[in-house]
Amino acid sequence: MTPGDPLGSLDPSHPRLFLTSERRKALAAGGRDSRLTELKTWLLEEADRLLELEATEFCIVGPRMLKNCQQLLRRVATLALAFQISGSEKYLGRARTELFRAADFPHWNPEHFLDTAELCTAFAIGYDWLHDSISISDRNRIREALLTKGLLPGLELQQKPAWWVSVRHNWNIVCNGGLAIGALAVADEEPELAAKILDTSLARIPLALDTFEPDGAWEAGPHYWEYTSWYSALACDALATALGSDAGLSARGGFRSAGLFALHCAGSSGQYFNYADAEEAVSARPVLFWLGGRFELPNCIAENHRHLQTQRKAHPFDVVWYEPPPGTVPDLRRAAHFRGTEVVFMRSAWKDPEASFLAFKAGSGQCDHGHLDLGSFVFDAAGIRWAVDLGPDDYDLPGYWNAGEEAGRWKYYRLNNRSHNTLVLNGRIQNWMAATAIARTNLDGPPYFAIADLSSAYSADAESVHRGVALFDPCGMLVQDEIAWRADRQDRVLRWQLMTNAEIRLAGGNAVFSRCGRSLEARILSPQGARFSVVPAHRDPPENRNAGYQQLALEHVEKGSTTCVAVQLSTRARPLEVRPLDTW
């Protein structure tokens, strides 16, 4: 990339996005690598399945058509890469069908610009990878749609600027990144337009990339980590392959460690700690190949291979960004604290599906996609996720995106602290303006522990609230809360709660969880005489009904000025002593 002239080093040939000559040679010579051969076979099988399907339709649900736009991107990349690998005209023709159908959409929904950005990326890949194999009239049709329905509306919004241009979350990188990728595909034919888009994208993308500071975590949870890191890698790789440099974007701050966050965030049960608006499912992610290769992170490469072997299908960018299995994979720490995002992960072992896994968070309800989940945790043991996070609700619920003390967002059960594995004081939701932190950790255990200062989340009722969680290798965990109540509060009712999809049987003051032939015991260590109850998690429509979930709850009315609650969760009996958090 030439200083002052973003297009001065543009590769004039096609393909110039992602599929470099070196990568094409590697794909052609892939017979010597059985794993790569396997991925190519799975890709061609997926492309064959697409031949039998109708082309992606124009369909808006609520304000968005994101699902269909992402489907189109996946299909175009799969079919175009299948054509590159095999030379078979059937894949070329089917890719053209997808592109032509989307070219005829009445618009690309610029009001929800994530949709437009995804289609810009899809059309850039289709135009670039198929360029030399389709007719001039076909090129013109694809390029015209990319220009009139994607790049020109996008440039207008960049120059206004639209709200998403300079935000510090995924919208910035997806929208500016998708526009940059689209611009690079046609930059030799539309140099003025492309230069303007690239100028803005290169100036604004760093605002969001810097949110990976300091250590690669993402405050909106692992689902949006995936989305943001995916488009970060796409944008950086498109710039590097088309222009010879990504202008230093990939070297910014914590992005180099982003792949390790994803590994720590996945529990032994095979599920993420799905805080914020995140889903639990963990699968192969091609960005792990890219991050692993770019930043020499063999653990990321090995993890993606592991998931690919389990799911037996490949994303096209698993092939484009392919990295061979590493010969040596170093041991990762069993406990890690990701600062800024304020999340801690602890496990008794890696690569053991029976291992205990404890993830715990502080942070802020003000972050993108944030919930009032400060102090919440999830817990895996014996291959089961016992303490769960319900995840997001329907994004189209009225007021879902309206934050504020009395706003609609915090009235929804899944988004406030009444559904999370944390505390409710005097029936009140947490202070949505609170900023809380992990105050102290021991990451060199066992036992591992983390203590969070949650005082600002409960300032209406308490002078201070501290929660400590500890993982005792390999039996189980302890969660301990210490509350100093405000002197001016007469009501001092504490509710401790844990969400689960296991069956619960109460046994005296204890509770026994059962699921999939496994069991876990919950024991109240403090306060003396407290007892558990089981509370349904059912909600009425339009909220999610939460079928199959229930809460284990402990309610305590405090007569004095301080309260200590300590609960042990264990797959086998191991008596624990309750000690003040400041002695941990």
Domains of the chain: 16-46+283-332 (no CATH), 335-574 (2.70.98.70)
Burial of 258 (0-12, 13-18, 19+ CB in 10 A): buried
Q: What angle do CA 403, 119, 48 make, to 5 degrees?
A: 120
Percent of the chain with pLDDT over 70: 99
Length of the chain: 584
d(CA 550, CA 522): 15
Question: From the CB of residue 147, how many other CB atoms can be counted at a distance below 10 Å?
Answer: 19
d(CA 354, CA 570): 13
Burial profile 524-535: b = 16 or more Cβ within 10 angstroms, e = fewer: bbbeeebebeeb
d(CA 177, CA 196): 13
pLDDT tens string 322-370: 999 999 999 999 999 999 899 999 999 999 999 999 999 999 988 889 9
d(CA 124, CA 144): 12
- Mapped onto helix, strand or coil, the DSSP state of residue 299 is helix
pLDDT over 80 (residue 124): yes
**Contact in structure between 532 and 511 (CB atoms under 8 Å):** yes
What dihedral do alpha carbons 244, 247, 249, 253 form, nearest 10°? 120
pLDDT at 554: 97
pLDDT band at 3 (very low <50, low <70, confident <90, very high): low
What's the whole-model pTM score?
0.95
d(CA 164, CA 7): 24
pLDDT tens string 421-440: 999 999 999 999 999 999 99
Mean pLDDT of 243-263: 94
pLDDT band at 578 (very low <50, low <70, confident <90, very high): very high
**Angle formed by the axes of helices 170-185 and 222-243, to 10°?**
30
pLDDT over 90 (residue 575): no
pLDDT tens string 194-225: 999 999 999 999 999 999 999 999 999 999 99
CA distances from 89 to 42, 93, 95 (A): 18, 6, 10
d(CA 416, CA 407): 12
**Contact in structure between 460 and 349 (CB atoms under 8 Å):** no
